Amino acid sequence: MSSWARFVLCVFACGFCLPACDAIVGVRCGSGYRAADGGCVVSVDAGFEDGSTDGSLSDGAMADGSMGDGGSDGSMVDGSLSGCGLGEKDCGGTCADVLNDPNNCGDCGTMCTGGAPVCAGGMCIASCSMPFSMCGPECVDTSVNPNHCGMCGNVCPASLCTGGGCVAASGHAVLVGHDYSGTTNNTMEVIAHNSVFLSLGVPYTVLAYEGTASTASVTGVDTAINNVAMSSGRSWTKVVATAGQVTSQLLLARAFVIYPQGDSSTDMELQMLAADWAASLASFLQRGGVVVLFDGPATHAGTWQLLSGTGLVSIAGTTDVGGNSLTVDVLGDAVVTGASSGTYTAEAGSVRFDSSDSTQVVGDGSGPVVIHRVFAQ
């Protein structure tokens, strides 16, 4: 990552907090990466370690084992990760591009016919007009489409297009062991806000999977983000997706937020969703996306299981730590930048991840409560 790219990322991610940014972007690189020029770069054969579960995408997920070679559809094509690719949806066993496919426009089986034969952005329209352009058979928005960025056929190596230009950015995965269902504190609010805004770009669209999360948790997480956003000057557009919509709608999002799943979810259901989302989540991180998962006490083993299909996490379960004292272990990490204290109390609805993960940002002395992974081009 160039110094200029790192500067831009720091400004958007945490304001002009440059003294901390080198530590932020380069902090605790995952397996298969090494620290270089303030960031994390691939260190082993330009690919991920086979079968690693400590920060890499599992089993050589990219088509040729490399990162950032940008397949034409941004999806995993070697079959090592399950589920449809980024921007696609499972339509009866076939992965369809519901943003551009006139036979599956917006959803499976929705055909564009008659006076609206063109599919653009998941909507049937009469003709391809601004802000869309015809690129071959597709009607696309060249300001954000990574396969036609700025002009038809201009493919972004990192699959990230902003304002008609290709952008190289770090992907981030953050696991937060707070469910925000009740009382919160300043540090918890900062963590929620900073985690969601680790990426750059305006407008800032956040895809949200609420699933079986309680109303209290959804409201609590959103309130925490908004409370800090009022002072940071950042704004976001929340788009709620069903489980079946996640893979197709991720393509247009900057961040993906997973709310703490409630007791009505089962371990099997969470693991099945993880398998359905695995390939698209891996591609999303590859292109610089941010995945933020909130977790809390539940009768199932933990919401973290929704990331298990990608090999991003190696967690056995969770332990309730409500009321315990927590310590910010990495003060320079962007997730905690601006927090009022290096220690805080874990409010009710907090858990420790039963893991030996070395990328913890916050812990209780026995394990991580907040984990932050960085994936750079």
> What is the model's pLDDT at position 159?
62
Residue finishing a domain among 111, 135, 158 = 158
- Which among 158, 192, 208 is the end of a domain? 158
Structure tokens belonging to residue 275: 């398998």
Domain co-membership, 74 together with 57: yes
Average pLDDT, whole number, for the chain?
A: 79
State mean pLDDT over 195-215.
Answer: 93
Tell me the Ramachandran region of residue 90: left when phi exceeds 0, alpha when psi lies from -120 to 50, beta otherwise: beta
What pLDDT is attached to residue 311? Answer: 79
Are 206 and 350 part of one and the same domain?
A: yes
Whether residue 292 sits in one domain with residue 176: yes
- Tell the residue number behind the tokens 């230009």, with chain if given: 165
Tell me the mean pLDDT in the region 201-205: 85
Helix 186-196 to helix 215-232 angle (10° resolution) is 80
Q: Which domain holds residue 252?
A: 1-86+167-377
Res 185: pLDDT? 95
- pLDDT, position 158: 62
190 and 302 together in one domain: yes
pLDDT of res. 29? 42
pLDDT band at 122 (very low <50, low <70, confident <90, very high): confident
* Mean pLDDT, rounded, for 31-53: 36
Same domain for 221 and 322? yes
Examine the domain organization and report whether 222 and 323 are in the same domain.
yes
Cis preceding-peptide flag for 131 (omega within 30 of 0):
yes
> In terms of domains, do 200 and 71 share one?
yes
The mean per-residue pLDDT over the stretch 52-56 comes to 33
d(CA 157, CA 278) in angstroms, rounded, equals 21
d(CA 120, CA 139): 5
pLDDT in tens, 249-275: 998 899 999 999 999 999 999 999 999
Give the per-residue pLDDT at 21: 33
Q: Are residues 270 and 181 in the same domain?
A: yes
Q: Do 38 and 124 reside in the same domain of the chain?
A: no
Please name the amino acid found at residue 329: D
Per-residue model confidence (pLDDT) at position 180: 98
Query: Do residues 242 and 331 share a domain?
Result: yes
Report how many domains make up the chain: 2
pLDDT grade, residue 336 (50/70/90)?
very high
Classify each residue of 55-90 as buried b or exposed e, where b means 16 or more C-beta atoms within 10 Å of its C-beta: bbbbbbbbeebebbebbebbbbeeebbebbbbbbbe
Residue where a domain terminates, one of 138, 158, 178: 158
Question: Same domain for 120 and 244?
Answer: no
pTM (global) more than 0.75: no
pLDDT at residue 56 above 70? no
Residues 143 and 183 in one domain: no
What share of the chain has pLDDT > 90, as a percent?
47
What's residue 377's pLDDT?
57
62 in Cβ contact with 69 (< 8 Å): yes
Whether 350 has a pLDDT exceeding 80, the answer reads yes
Residue 101 has pLDDT above 60, yes or no: yes
Measured from the Cβ of residue 349, the count of other Cβ atoms closer than 10 Å reads: 25
Q: Which two tokens stand for residue 208?
A: 């949200």
